[in-house]
Structure 1
Amino acid sequence: MRIRTLPAAVATAALFSSVVLTTAGPAAADTSVPISVGDVSDTVVDGAHQHLYISGDSTISVVGYNGKVLSKLTGLPQVSDLQLSPDGSTLYAAVTGADKIVAFDTATLTQTAEYPTGTGTAPRWIALTEGRIWFGYGDQWDSGLGGIDLSTDPAAVTLDLAGAHDFATTPRLFADPANPTTLVALDPGISSGPIIVYDISTGTPVIRVAADEGGFYRDGALTPDAQSIVVAGPGNRAVTEYRLSDLQMVHQYPVKDEPETVSVAPDGTVAATALDTENTGDTYVFPGGADAPASIRNLSGSWMPWGGHSTAWSADGSKLFVLTGSTDFRQLQTVTDPRKYVTALTVDAPATGTRGKTLTVKGTLTTGLKLPAGTPLNVVRTDLLSPAGKSLGVKALGANGTFSFTDAPPAGSKVRYTVTYAGDAAHTASSASDTVTVSRATPALTLTNNKKTYTYGKNVVFTAHLGTTYSNRTVEIWADPYGADKPNKLLKTGRTDTHGNLSATVTMSRDTAVTVVFKGDARYAGRTVKSTAYAHVKTASSLSKYYRTGTIGSTHYRYYHKNTDAVLTTTMTYYKGRKERLDLQVYSGGRWYTTYSGYFSLGTNGKSVVNLGHPGSSGVRARVRTSYIDPSSGDNVNTTTYGSWNYFYFSS
């Protein structure tokens, strides 16, 4: 058996038999993007063109590394297995529903050849060796192994090359130029299905060795030297490596649940996905020969069977691509540091604190490969005094993966503590933060003229006074007139004077809420104070159609003939839907009696004309006034305003 030297990270892990592997979501540098592809049969990576070829739904989708579908090769019914030629220039595809294998130029994405395999053969799996395409075809016990000799013109197709084995299901095939005389076949759909290694040195497959290794193989991949195959099957909660020379087990890579897919990087790193019924971790990465994964990531968010070969390394082995989700929500997951142990930081700070008083921040740093005590963690405090963040230096990780530190925050309000682990050759970087609400003093803040009433149009000065603060002496004064048609408006913003005052003038045409705002500073909390001032309407009324004026006692009257109608015209500050209230009184026996009180709508010009009628008899003294009543006049934009009485007399 070939002896491997384990990477340093794995060797260290072997020393910690009590280590419990922790799972985490994607590391900070990993990405997850939606991808518009349906069912997946196979995934192949083209490093030269930075493409992923994904077969499924009778289509080959050509996808960029960013998850964008660049092109679709259509008209390929039931297209399944894909293979890239060793030089990367040609993509071969098994088109099961059309009984053929087709070839595409990877530079132009145009079809360059097709190879019919015979009516009803339904080729599903393919493998490439020098000058030949090998294909698994058929269904159930009618399955077989075929070959296409590309050196003849036309290419020669030969069926029934399985030799002494009768395939129960379509054979899944593997070959690699690193071992040019060897073809590997899996009989995947039956519990007794073997792994079969063929010698193809003569051009005709001859069984070299076969062994029943549990069947129901979900996926497989050759090692970089093509001397072993790693298979994923549901039986033993592991992906297993078998040596091709004798099909003896070389190694098992343990996963928590039934393995689904497997892919091997150029350096021998093994990536596997598992069913993950508990949704705790589905994607495992093992350095070649390792007993424990370098990382476990929870990418799928679902325990549904993955279906198809949906895990692939980039050509240089630096990234791992994993397709997750269903046809309705397919995601392309790109793992940027697949070989590193994922680290997960937590930070726990008190919910509240007092400015200038010591508080304690705690946390944990967890990972599958334990980090030593003293591992440096960088701490940054972000607050009102340091909005870009202030370094609190390096804190040391404790022996059990925990840490704590103390701080006396100099500023109040929200204070965020961010802890960062930079990562190393074996661990991903991680960062986490928590926020403390730190108390601040409440400043004195006042505003004049609250609940005062003013005549229409008066210019009123509102003065704000700000008491002691730390660094901020700026206040804002806002005016919000009543009525939905007038927005809140900033009147003035500026620093208070040496007495702590700032003033602004409001023209009182409506009731107005005036607000002063202090936004706070590092030691004093923000505060808002409101004064509501009230404004009368502007109103005037006059009588018409009288024939003279005169006085009765000391009161000025308009004189009317007893059969002449008195007409009252009112002008009032207009607002949509506003009405003026009219009160009519008659004098009798030394007292005034109300004979009518009602509301009349104003025109858009603010006028209302009312015919008061006539008594038909002489000696009648009357008076009338119009008023705005809040809110009975139809709105609450102004405060109640009573007009002056107009006196009139019907003489003869």
Structure 2
Amino acid sequence: MRTRTLPAAVATAALFSSVALAAVPAAADTSTPIGVDSVIDTVVDGAHQHLYISSGNVISVADYTGKVVTTLTGLSGVSDLQLSPDGSTLYAAVPGADKIVAFDTATLTQTAEYPTGDRTAPRRIALTEGRIWFGYGDQWESGLGKVDLTTDPAAVTLDLAGDHDFASTPMLYADPANPDTLVALDGGISSGPIVVYDVSSGTPAIRVTANEGGFYRDGALTPDGQSIVVAGPGNRAVTEYRLSDLQEVHEYPVKDEPETVSVAPDGTVAATALDTENTGDTYVFPGGADTPASVRNLSNEWMPWSGHSTTWSADGTQLFVLTGRSGSAQFNVVAEPRKYVTKLTADAPATATRAKTLTVKGTLAAGLMPPAGTPVSVVRTDMLSPSGKSLGTKALGANGAFSFTDVPPAGGTVRYTVTYAGDAAHTPASASDTVAVSRATPALTLTNNGKVYDYGKNVAFTAHLGTTYSNRTVEIWADPYGADKPKKLLKTGKVDSHGNLSATVNMSRDTAVTAVFKGDSQYGARTVKSTAYAHAKIASSLSKYYRTGTIGSTRYYYFHKKTDAVVTTTMTYYKGRKERLDLQVYSNGKWYTTDSEYFALGTSGKCIVNLGHPGTSGVRARVRAAYIDPSSGDNVNTTTYGAWSYFYFTN
């Protein structure tokens, strides 16, 4: 498995620091949910920009962003995957069907299948020229077999483990760079060794074997095919062993138990660890390094790893790491895996005074610190420079610290953004912080607050703006009472030479009028409000009278004593509005209220009420309609009393 898809690249030399790394994500890294169950194996197809992921009974085919473009189904318990050296064929071990199947990578259609025998359950595969080697069986019934593709039909041979008795299905590795060698890891027991076979004759012969701790979790061959790097057991390192004699070549230290490993074409080693403290789980080491170039924290789960879930892109420029379990798997792309990850912080004071000196501090952190004097660029964004104004560059100190002073010319929210451009060994980083810089409070007034006006009167509201710096524009808004009338901008413009701006409101309702100044670089925003009140429009008339006349100086409507007096009221309509009728009778020189009652208005605003008749003559009465805020059902207008209508009953 894990066969490279491109020739080995030439690695450039790198420097390494003993400084501990902070586990932080690089800016260009991405994490995307992907709908797969626990991962068994992943293989990269560089020609088609695909990742093949075996999980459950399917192979998911994903692109380099983690989007699953299709699935290959009906593969019972599909396990190991392997790409042919020319990249044209994908081989998959299908233990639930006792076979190995082949797919055309261009069409993703099955082209062949190779039954391995009843209840053989092949789980692990590796390729050498013309042969598929497979590990099969379970526990002590495990073995090594091959499918010889040079015969027609392909010939299957079992029981090729030689003198070694596998305690579990052997994990197999081969590489075209070392075509006569097959490596098997006996990973299911603590005493399980690494076994190196010579397969040049077609029949495996043990070349060397050594117990290196067993319980191997994962492995990957180096680009020259001369060494294997294994993850596990819990020695807090992934370890490289030379295949010629299985002597240890190098240890790549990780903080916790190693889980997966993958080697790039240039020899860069990527490994994941259990990470019980959630401080960093994915390590990248240039080949032969003692310290990782970067550590990412890609998962917060207790047990995020399954199978071979870490692999490099075909050209070795990106690292793909699958984390999580069924239903919560994430497809992580580490975009610049070889670079030291940098983290930049910026700390500005929470508040400051305009035109006074303030200080911004910060630090840049990385596993390998850039040298003292390395520049970071600074940009200030404020009301005078909304697109940002460069403040030049500032130099890092020996410990990565920096500080600078500035005199903010503008008030309001001022943002300082510090950027490190990165270099061949470091990722770029950026950080920013904001300062609330004080501004003066401008004088702003608005006329007519609390005044009451007749219905329909046009009233001018005048805003007066005091001293400001650059902005002389004021907005005047009207917000009529009632949910059916939205707030409306009446006028916006510069105030005149006296600082005034006026707008007219037709007072058909109570209205909240606001004047808004949005501020400038030296004076803050301000809003003032005036609430003016409007009477309702009320008109009443009596009907069924037979004449009019005056009693004293007051005009009366005359009714026969047995004729009902009817009053018709028209009032400004609002949904749910009621009028109040007040009825009074004159007796012994005074008016006495006999009734006050609310009546609903029609949608036209009209209401007709029969007041009845007294049946006797000589009765003097009066009636009026009123809108009472809010007893009439709303608060859209201010309380308004209509005029009294006087009437007199005769014989």
Instruction: Give, in angstroms, the shift of residue 409 of structure 1.
Output: 0.6
Alignment gaps of 5+ in structure 2: 1-9
Contact 2:298 2:323 in 1 (8 A): yes
Aligned pairs (5 A) from 1:307-318? 307-318=306-317
Aligned pairs (5 A) from 1:235-274? 235-274=234-273
Say whether 1:145 aligns with 2:144. Answer: yes
Q: 1:97 aligns to what SS in structure 2?
A: helix
Match of 2:5 in 1: none
Aligned pairs (5 A) from 1:623-642? 623-642=622-641
- The CA distance in 1 between the partners of 2:273 and 2:134, in whole Å, is 27
Match of 2:6 in 1: none
- The CA distance in 1 between the partners of 2:548 and 2:222, in whole Å, is 118
- The CA distance in 1 between the partners of 2:28 and 2:595, in whole Å, is 82
Match of 1:605 in 2: 604
Q: Once the two structures are superposed, what CA deviation does each residue of 1:478-532 show, in whole Å capped at 9, x if it has no partner?
A: 1000001111011111111121111111111000000111111111100001000
Contact 1:260 1:305 in 2 (8 A): no
Q: Which amino acid aligns with 1:175?
A: A
- The CA distance in 1 between the partners of 2:167 and 2:280, in whole Å, is 33
- The CA distance in 2 between the partners of 1:304 and 1:494, in whole Å, is 64
Contact 2:304 2:325 in 1 (8 A): no
Match of 1:331 in 2: 330
Match of 1:31 in 2: 30
- The CA distance in 2 between the partners of 1:539 and 1:164, in whole Å, is 112
Say whether 1:512 aligns with 2:517. Answer: no
Q: 2:416 aligns to what SS in structure 1?
A: strand
Instruction: Give, in angstroms, the shift of residue 86 of structure 1.
Output: 0.4
Instruction: Give, in angstroms, the shift of residue 20 of structure 1.
Output: 2.2
Instruction: Give, in angstroms, the shift of residue 401 of structure 1.
Output: 1.6
Say whether 1:405 aligns with 2:404. Answer: yes
- The CA distance in 2 between the partners of 1:118 and 1:610, in whole Å, is 102
Q: 2:79 aligns to what SS in structure 1?
A: strand
Match of 2:458 in 1: 459
Q: 1:126 aligns to what SS in structure 2?
A: strand
Q: 2:66 aligns to what SS in structure 1?
A: coil
Q: Which amino acid aligns with 1:611?
A: N
Match of 2:45 in 1: 46
Match of 2:491 in 1: 492
Say whether 1:442 aligns with 2:441. Answer: yes
Match of 2:74 in 1: 75
Aligned pairs (5 A) from 1:21-420? 21-25=21-25, 27-420=26-419
Q: Once the two structures are superposed, what CA deviation does each residue of 1:343-384 show, in whole Å capped at 9, x if it has no partner?
A: 001111100011011011111100001222111010111111
- The CA distance in 1 between the partners of 2:234 and 2:504, in whole Å, is 83
Instruction: Give, in angstroms, the shift of residue 301 of structure 1.
Output: 2.1
- The CA distance in 1 between the partners of 2:15 and 2:393, in whole Å, is 28
Q: Which amino acid aligns with 1:250?
A: V
- The CA distance in 2 between the partners of 1:96 and 1:212, in whole Å, is 27
Q: Which amino acid aligns with 1:613?
A: G
Contact 2:234 2:256 in 1 (8 A): no
Q: What TM-score, normalized by structure 2, do the two folds share?
A: 0.98
Contact 1:211 1:247 in 2 (8 A): yes
- The CA distance in 1 between the partners of 2:313 and 2:587, in whole Å, is 106
Q: Which amino acid aligns with 1:23?
A: A
Q: Which amino acid aligns with 1:297?
A: R
Q: 1:80 aligns to what SS in structure 2?
A: coil
Contact 2:131 2:147 in 1 (8 A): yes
Q: Once the two structures are superposed, what CA deviation does each residue of 1:175-194 show, in whole Å capped at 9, x if it has no partner?
A: 01111110000001111110
Q: Which amino acid aligns with 2:265?
A: P
- The CA distance in 1 between the partners of 2:572 and 2:325, in whole Å, is 66
Instruction: Give, in angstroms, the shift of residue 643 of structure 1.
Output: 0.5
Instruction: Give, in angstroms, the shift of residue 6 of structure 1.
Output: 9.3
- The CA distance in 1 between the partners of 2:370 and 2:125, in whole Å, is 45
- The CA distance in 2 between the partners of 1:9 and 1:228, in whole Å, is 21
- The CA distance in 2 between the partners of 1:328 and 1:116, in whole Å, is 32
Match of 1:20 in 2: 20
Contact 1:10 1:294 in 2 (8 A): no
Task: Give the aligned length.
Answer: 642
Q: Which amino acid aligns with 1:467?
A: G
- The CA distance in 1 between the partners of 2:602 and 2:396, in whole Å, is 78
Alignment gaps of 5+ in structure 1: none
Match of 1:10 in 2: 15
Mean Cα displacement is larger for which, 319-328 or 42-51?
319-328
Q: Which amino acid aligns with 1:485?
A: D
Q: Once the two structures are superposed, what CA deviation does each residue of 1:237-276 show, in whole Å capped at 9, x if it has no partner?
A: 0000000000000000000000010000011000000011
Q: 1:241 aligns to what SS in structure 2?
A: strand
Q: Which amino acid aligns with 1:326?
A: R
Q: Which amino acid aligns with 1:152?
A: T
Contact 1:9 1:369 in 2 (8 A): no
Q: 2:80 aligns to what SS in structure 1?
A: strand
Q: Once the two structures are superposed, what CA deviation does each residue of 1:583-616 show, in whole Å capped at 9, x if it has no partner?
A: 1111111111111111111111111111111111
Mean Cα displacement is larger for which, 495-504 or 559-568?
495-504
Match of 1:547 in 2: 546
Say whether 1:482 aligns with 2:481. Answer: yes
- The CA distance in 2 between the partners of 1:513 and 1:631, in whole Å, is 17
Instruction: Give, in angstroms, the shift of residue 234 of structure 1.
Output: 3.0
- The CA distance in 1 between the partners of 2:234 and 2:483, in whole Å, is 71
Contact 1:349 1:362 in 2 (8 A): yes
Contact 1:419 1:431 in 2 (8 A): yes
Match of 1:622 in 2: 621
* Aligned residues with identical type, % of pairs: 81
- The CA distance in 2 between the partners of 1:467 and 1:622, in whole Å, is 57
- The CA distance in 1 between the partners of 2:13 and 2:355, in whole Å, is 46
Q: 2:133 aligns to what SS in structure 1?
A: strand
Instruction: Give, in angstroms, the shift of residue 305 of structure 1.
Output: 4.2
- The CA distance in 1 between the partners of 2:327 and 2:474, in whole Å, is 53
Instruction: Give, in angstroms, the shift of residue 303 of structure 1.
Output: 2.7
- The CA distance in 1 between the partners of 2:68 and 2:474, in whole Å, is 54
- The CA distance in 2 between the partners of 1:477 and 1:451, in whole Å, is 17
| RMSD, matched Cα | 1.1
Contact 2:143 2:160 in 1 (8 A): yes
Mean Cα displacement is larger for which, 468-477 or 224-233?
468-477
Q: 2:219 aligns to what SS in structure 1?
A: strand
Match of 1:578 in 2: 577
Q: Which amino acid aligns with 2:242?
A: R
- The CA distance in 2 between the partners of 1:482 and 1:249, in whole Å, is 84
Q: Which amino acid aligns with 1:568?
A: V
**For residues 542 and 490 of structure 1, do their structure 2 counterparts lie closer, same or farther at Cα, with a shift above 3 Å needed?**
same
Q: Once the two structures are superposed, what CA deviation does each residue of 1:550-577 show, in whole Å capped at 9, x if it has no partner?
A: 1111110011111111111100000011
Contact 1:55 1:79 in 2 (8 A): yes
- The CA distance in 2 between the partners of 1:31 and 1:195, in whole Å, is 36
- The CA distance in 1 between the partners of 2:495 and 2:45, in whole Å, is 67
Instruction: Give, in angstroms, the shift of residue 37 of structure 1.
Output: 1.9
Contact 2:514 2:527 in 1 (8 A): yes
Say whether 1:471 aligns with 2:470. Answer: yes
Q: Which amino acid aligns with 1:273?
A: T
Mean Cα displacement is larger for which, 119-128 or 495-504?
495-504
Q: 1:10 aligns to what SS in structure 2?
A: coil
Q: 1:618 aligns to what SS in structure 2?
A: coil
Q: Once the two structures are superposed, what CA deviation does each residue of 1:376-432 show, in whole Å capped at 9, x if it has no partner?
A: 010111111111111110001111121111111111111011111111111110001
- The CA distance in 2 between the partners of 1:6 and 1:179, in whole Å, is 19
- The CA distance in 1 between the partners of 2:190 and 2:639, in whole Å, is 92
Match of 2:537 in 1: 538
Q: Once the two structures are superposed, what CA deviation does each residue of 1:16-47 show, in whole Å capped at 9, x if it has no partner?
A: x4x2222212x112222222222211010001
Q: What TM-score, normalized by structure 1, do the two folds share?
A: 0.97
Contact 2:30 2:334 in 1 (8 A): yes
Contact 2:380 2:415 in 1 (8 A): yes
